[in-house]
Each structure stands twice: as structure tokens, then as C-alpha cells.
Amino acid sequence: MRVYEEVCGNPRTCPYDNPHWSPAKREACAELHRTYFEHRYSFEETYFNKTIIQDRIGMFKAETFLGYCTGPGGDNYLSMTGAIIQKPDWQTVCPPNVCPLGTFMKSDCTCTSPNVSFADTYI
């Protein structure tokens, strides 16, 4: 983790993207951080009792941090060892699946069809 931590920032500090980064570096760092959190998700799903896992309720850069950051900075990181913050009743937490290009995830955690627009789904 040290090598990309120096380049992209520690994922557990929920860092902002540096505004001076090129689009390619921004994308590469987002992918590295996402991979880190995908490993965390897999670890928790394999080794933790499902009743004691922190729900991924963070909305800060959710595509990158997969719900483990409620905002920028280490104080906003939802750790595996800290106190569990309860999920609000209104919030849906889906597995960190990626929907195919041209689709998006619906509130029931399924992906839309490629030929269905957002307006067709929610209006």
C-alpha cells in the first residue's frame, strides 16, 4: 500500500483528488482506492459476522470508496474496528457491483436495461 499511498493518498483518509492531477492520474488513483475497498468488502464478507459489519453508508466519492467514507479526511472513514454507525432507514446499501456501461443501479440493487433511461425508470 505504501507505494500508491505516496502517489494517491491513503484510502483510509478518504482523500480528495488533487486538482493538479491529470485526468489519467485521477482515474488511476480512483481505481487503486476502489480496489483497496473491494478487498476490504471481500474480507468482511468472508470473515466477519454479518451482524457486526459496518454498513457502507458513506456517500463521499461512493464509486471510489464504496460507501466507506462519509466525507473527506480520516475522521470520516468508516473503519472495521470502530463503533458501528447505524444505517438510516431511508438508505439502501447495495453490494459494490458495477453496472454495465450505459446502465445504472436502481434502488433495488439491480441494473437497468441498456435501453432504459433514468426518466423511464423513475417517472
Q: Could you tell me if 22 and 69 lie in one domain? A: yes
What CA–CA distance (Å, rounded) separates 108 from 31?
A: 25
| 73 and 14 Cβ atoms separated by less than 8 Å | yes
pTM for the predicted model, two decimal places: 0.76
Q: What does pLDDT average to over the chain?
A: 85
- pLDDT of amino acid 42: 92
Residues (pLDDT < 70) of the chain are: 1-4, 51, 116-123
Same domain for 78 and 97, yes or no, is no
Burial 75-104 (b: 16+ CB within 10 A, else e): eebbeeeeeeeeeeeeeeeeebeeeeeeee
pLDDT at 107: 77
pLDDT for res 67: 93
What is the residue range of 10's domain? Answer: 2-85
When divided into structural domains, the chain yields a total of: 2
Q: What local confidence, expressed as pLDDT, does residue 1 receive?
A: 58
Both 9 and 42 in one domain: the answer is yes
Rounded distance between C-alpha atoms, residue 116 and residue 22, angstroms = 33
